[in-house]
Structures are given as C-alpha cells and as structure tokens.
Structure 1
C-alpha cells in the first residue's frame, strides 16, 4: 500500500487561509456598529498544501458548505482564530452563505470594543487582507496517487471564520501535523507502514566494524625460534 494513502486517514479540525477583499462599512442607524463582508473560503480554486509526505493539491468543491449551512451551525468570527468572539451566528450578528465564489460572510461588529477597533483600522488601511476558517472534513475524495484532495463536504459547527494577519499562505502552508489521536484513525496496514518509515528514519546509523588487526604470519615465529636456537 502506498505511503501517501495515509493522507486520507487524518482527521480533526483544520484551517485554511485565503487572501480576500474585505469591505468595512458603517451600519445604518447604529453608529457603534460596523459591518465587515468578505469570503472565508474560495471554492474551485486549487492550491498547494504540505504534509509529512510532501506537497499535494487541495480544492474545496462548490456545494461543500450546503449541508452544514442548512443545519444552522454555531460559528463565531474571531481574530487569528483566538480571543473573544466578535460576531456569532447564534446571535444573528454573523451571517454565512455559499455562492459561486465560496463561503461568504457578513458580520456586524461593535466599534465600542478596542479589539474590534484595532481590527477595523487594520482592514481600512490595508494592513490585513486575509481570512481563514476552521472546519472538519466530513466527505472527501483523493486522486488514485493521493496527490490531489477534493473536499466535498465540511462541518462548520463550533468552528470559526477569522480575519488573519498573515495566515497560512495557500502556496506555502503546512497541513496540521498528525497528532496522537489521529493515529487511532489509521488502518492496521497504514499504521504498520508509517511505523516502518519512522523506524527507518530514526534507526541508529550502521557502523561498520573495524577490521581485525592482521596477525603475524607463522613464518615470522619460525624465523624467531630458529634465531634463538642459534
């Protein structure tokens, strides 16, 4: 079995970042609220990813968000995937939809907050221009050589969309490393293959034994004995 087949066994929350155009505008009749709008994901746009086996191509297919959005997932708008939520689908301040471009998001954020103010200032001056989203893959398809991954369906529930300042560039990003919990998801054949590869990588170097010193030929001892007898 090809080592690259292990790629299909890795699970868990993953993140992808995209350079996008984010629009900021004031909310009508609400002076302390601004609305930001953009795309947290772009579909049908292959990009290069990396994992412990090397590079591969990944593309989120159109329709990948349909099922999860129909289930009203709880998703928050964050800054760099951390900190306090700035908007929330449950509160109606974060609205997500899928169109022909990808995962569209619109969020109402409070300008009374200092962290929101800093984010809006960075967006307006162009210092930040990327978004990312955290999700689980629920349906995927790999090419026969495991060099292209098509993401067909994802789960956004309890994930996030984030404004990021220098998120993982799709051209140079590294896929999440395999965690201890992920090993339990591998088949016996895949786990055995991975173990063999790790054993080869970390095996101590083979040290050739030093050649044994050459023994003295018997003729030398005979010659010495004859000399002593004289």
Structure 2
C-alpha cells in the first residue's frame, strides 16, 4: 500500500512539473535565485545521528542557492528554498565529490516540520529537508536556522540588499522525524554576485548526503519530478 501511495504521489508531482515546465522551461520552480559561497563546519557535538558526515567533525567548502519556490512578487510570502552543495575532500586519486542538500521553509516542531510554510523573512524561516535520510540508526532529518543577521527578508532583492557583504550564518541540526533537534554544525555563506547561478543545479537524488541511503518510497516520490527538471528545454 505504501509503495502504491508513493508511486501515485510521484506521478502526481511529475504531471504538475510537466505543466509548469511549459511555462518556465529552464526551472519549473525556484526559477530565480542568488548564489552564495562559504563553508560548513561540523562540530564535535557529542551526539550520534547514525550518519558519518554529521557525527565526525570536519570543515568543507559549500556552495548555496537561495530562491523563492513560486516566485511570488516582492512583499508577498513565498516558500524559501536553500539548495546546498557540500564539497568533500579528495580521497586518494579520486576526484572531489559532493553532496546536495535541499532545504525548504517549514515549521520546526512535529508535525509542522513536514509542512511547507511561506515566509516573509528568511531569518524567521526554519528550514529542513522534509524527506528523511536513511542513516545507520534509522531516518534522519536535516534542519537549519538563521543565527545572523537577524533581519533578512525573503524577497531576493531585499535579501541581497540586507546581507550585502556580511555573512549569513546558520546553525545546522539533525533530528529523527518526531524527535528533538540536535545542533551539530554551522553554515556560513556570503553572496557571490559575480558568479553565475543560472546553470547552478542541485539534485538530492543523484548526489545524496555522504554516508546515507534513500528510502525507496522517498526516491519514488522524488525521481519523476526530478527527471522532468533535469531535462533541458527542447528535450522530449
């Protein structure tokens, strides 16, 4: 029954994304965004998530893109999206690898952490992955909350103007689907207005978080719409 439900939801998202892509051919959602670059630091937090990347202290370069899901006019709330690419260190002769993490504005407690919430201010927007990762000890959610600055609007123009040359700092958290959030790291990002963001694409299915696996039902829900998004304009 769960498999049938996941398939139906995934097909439903695919139909919606196909329709939107006829209008927004480059990106069905999150069509406009800002590029950010910085670092992610995993602290020695003393906890155990069952995911090696969370449980082992490290520092890695990060690339981000903040966007508004529906692209509503400035002054109106929208679902805030933060796509994050974590660049892992080289291992032996292999090239650098990376993981893509997709965060959206939601509630923070259960069950609100599974509900998308439009926001007027990024600084008041808890962000989380909504889809749990499959760690060694079971399902794990990733979340983030702004530490500083304290007043960031969700409109891209306002965000850019308010942040300027200052860093955007966020606390990183993990939790089981119903459990309390545990602080494990810090993400620091700065605007990179000189870098191209138009072709910067993230894919949590093709580039999962290091040390995790996807649940079959989550992949079934995500993959059809992700496949539509990957296609270049003009592809059949």
Q: Higher strand share goes to which structure?
A: 1
Normalization by structure 1: what TM-score?
0.28
**Could you say which structure has the larger radius of gyration?**
1
Query: Per chain length, whose mean CA-contact separation is higher, i.e. which structure has more relative contact order (CA < 8 Å, sep 6+)?
Result: 1
- Structure 2 length as normaliser, TM-score? 0.27
